[in-house]
Structures are given as structure tokens and as C-alpha cells.
Amino acid sequence: MSEAEVRFHRMKDLPSTHLLGGGTAMCSGCGGLEALHEIYDILGEKTVFVNAAGCMTLLSIYPFTPFRGSWLYTAMASAPAGAQGIRDALDILKHKNQITEDDNLDVVVLTGDGAANGMGLSATSGAMERDLDFLYICYDNEGYGNTGQQYSAATPHAAKTSTSKGPRGFTGYKKDLFSIWAAHKPAYVATVIGAEPLDLARKIETAKHMKGPRMIIALSPCPTGWDYDPKLTVEIGKLAVKTGIWPLKEYIDGDVKHTKIPRQRVAVEEYLKLQGRFRHLFEPERNDELLAELQAKVDDYWEGVSELAPPP
Ligand SMILES: Cc1ncc(C[n+]2csc(CCOP(=O)(O)OP(=O)(O)O)c2C)c(N)n1
Ligand code: SF4
């Protein structure tokens, strides 16, 4: 999309009313719901959501739904396969002139990180290989939220989860889903967060006007699973970006570009200390060694970012 076609230049350009209905069964302060509100406003109601089992399946409970358009519930591993079925059906109906272009829908997969990084990854890889024309939105709350925040492949190192209760918390490392998706060379991959709505809006607008597989990973602060006061969702989201823990970036045509570079990075512990899942790093005594390790990981990432390198 050219610069001239970008609709969102300033915060004032963002939609001022939400398409997604209120009063859902999601927890108050849910960062995933915050991102979905913003995303849906830009995608519009000519969208069919294909939603794998997880927190967001609580949105639509028959006969109630907050969506203006269609929604399909699938098993955890199968949302991209469900998306293929819907895309094919719509294309066949169009081909037979049984629906008009105006009746066409954008097919959008919606899953948590458990489905995106684990159970549904092979179905996603297959869909990318087939060049399926769809948008995949992963709301990443860094665990299996709906079943009590067990660790997933997206859980960050040292976070306590209901299945990582040892002194170090989760001993594994967060999977790099952005790079895994980019390695498939899809049309588009981007990271977003609800607390940066302008950056999010531009990326959803870009993705909406493309064809082929397009992927969005939205870091989704989760008061219930991350153990913090729901009013802190936006502050935690902003700190994820300012500390450099959650790089905002996009992949197009083989290139990765960072869309918001935190040049004066805030110390990582400012993000960690607001969340109960990292409380063991500060109480009963400070774990300086592990805190330094977590900071070094983030520093290493940004040292490798070419946009930050001084000109040759
Ligand atoms: C094959 C399979 N295993 C387990 C479950 C039980 N289950 C339902 S929702 C869920 C958690 C999904 O985690 P994630 O994809 O991260 O979404 P979130 O719950 O965080 O929204 C699990 C394990 C299931 N539905 N299907
Ligand atoms: S558990 Fe977390 S992701 Fe799930 S609805 Fe609650 S706040 Fe949102």
C-alpha cells in the first residue's frame, strides 16, 4: 500500500465507535479483547471469524454474539483448515454467480498462542503453503489462558504459570512465531499490541488490502493469567514496547522493518515488576542474576537490529 492510501496518520483518524458489541464474558481488562476491538473496527463487518477453542470462544455463546458478521468455532488445531473450507465455498459461489462481490467476506482466523504456536501450527503452515487468502490473528496471552494459564510455547522465560511453579518459573524460551511465519514467505506478518492503536490500525489496514496469507501477532496482556490489576493493561502494554520486550515490526517481500523503535529503552524490570507471574524475581529477595539474564536477552535482540546500526 502506498503512503497516500494509508488512512491512519494520527490518533484522531482512528474509529471513535466500536463495531464489536460490549458485555462479553471475557475478563475485565483483557488485552486480547482490547486488540480485537481495534482490529474489528478496521476490518469491518464483512468478515467471517474462524475461532479455535480458547478464551475468545466465550465471545459467542448461542444465541448471543458481539460480532456483526459471521463466526465459526473450530477445534484447537483446525482453524486454518476451517478457513480454507470457507474461502473455497465463497470462491465457488462467486464463480457460479450465486453471490456477488458485495456478498464476499474476508476470512479471518482468530486463535490464542497455544493454538498458533503449538496445536495449530502445522495446519497454519499448510495453509501458507497453499497460499490461502486469509488473515490469521493470534492474540498472544503467553499461555493456555482459557484452561487456567498452563505454559504454552509462547510463555516467556521465568514466568510463573500453573504448570511452571519452580523457583525460576518457566524454564523454556518463547517461540519466535514471527520468524517461523516469515520463513514461509507469506504476503504479510506483523506484531501489534492494543496499547499502540495507531501502529495496530496501520498494520491491519495494510493487511486488509493484501491477498494471500497474512499474519498478525497481538501481544495480549492478561490480568487473570499474568496476575495484575486489570486497570494496568494499557500501561503494561506500553511498557512491553518501551522496554523492547515486544518489538513492533512487519515483514513484507522478504524484508523485516521495525515500526516503532524504542531508542531509549526502559529497563525490563519495570515491565516485570507490575506482574504477579514475575513476583519471584523480586520477593522474598531480588534475583539479580535472572533479572540481568532477561535484560541481556532483550539487549541482544536490539543489538542485532540493523535499523539501529550507525550508517557505514
Ligand atoms: C485438542 C485439544 N486439547 C485441549 C483442549 C482444551 N482447551 C480448550 S481452550 C484451551 C486453551 C487454548 O489456549 P490458547 O490457544 O493459548 O488460547 P487462550 O485460551 O489463551 O485464549 C485448551 C487447552 C482442546 N479444546 N482441544
Ligand atoms: S484469561 Fe486472559 S486472555 Fe483470557 S479472557 Fe481473561 S484476561 Fe483475556
Distance CA 106, CA 135 (A): 8
Between the CA of 198 and the centroid of ligand 1 the distance, in Å, is: 30
- CA 236, distance to chain mean position in Å, is 15
Domain assignment of residue 162, yes or no: yes
Domain assignment of residue 141, yes or no: yes
Q: What is the pLDDT of residues 241-293, one digit of tens each?
A: 999 999 999 999 999 999 999 999 999 999 999 999 999 999 999 999 999 99
Q: What's residue 309's pLDDT?
A: 75
Domain assignment of residue 189, yes or no: yes
> Into how many domains does the chain fold?
1
Domain assignment of residue 176, yes or no: yes
Selection from 31, 233, 227, 210 nearest residue 138 by Cα:
31
- The answer to whether 116 and 136 have CB atoms below 8 angstroms apart is yes
Q: What is the pLDDT of residues 55-71, one digit of tens each?
A: 999 999 888 999 999 99
Instruction: Count CB atoms within 10 A of the CB of residue 289.
Output: 8
Q: What is the pLDDT of residues 5-21, one digit of tens each?
A: 678 999 999 998 899 99
Distance CA 54, CA 146 (A): 5
Between the CA of 206 and the centroid of ligand 2 the distance, in Å, is: 27
Of 58, 146, 155, 220, best ligand 1 pocket probe by most atoms within 8 Å of the beta carbon: 146
Between the CA of 222 and the centroid of ligand 1 the distance, in Å, is: 15
CATH code at position 158 = 3.40.50.970
Q: What's residue 3's pLDDT?
A: 45
Q: What is the pLDDT of residues 184-218, one digit of tens each?
A: 999 999 999 999 999 999 999 999 999 999 999 99
Domain assignment of residue 311, yes or no: no
Q: What's residue 5's pLDDT?
A: 64
Find the mean pLDDT for residues 145-154: 98
Domain assignment of residue 77, yes or no: yes
Domain assignment of residue 312, yes or no: no
Report the atom number in ligand 1 closest to the C-alpha of 225.
20
Domain assignment of residue 22, yes or no: yes
Q: Which helix (H) or strand (E) holds 260?
A: strand 255-260
Residue 25 has pLDDT above 60, yes or no: yes
Q: Which residues line ligand 1 (CB under 6 A)?
A: 53-56, 75-76, 111-115, 119, 141, 144-147, 152
Q: What's residue 62's pLDDT?
A: 85
Q: What's residue 306's pLDDT?
A: 86
Q: Which domain holds residue 56?
A: 3-306
Average pLDDT value for the chain: 96
Between the CA of 143 and the centroid of ligand 1 the distance, in Å, is: 9
Report the atom number in ligand 2 closest to the C-alpha of 27.
6
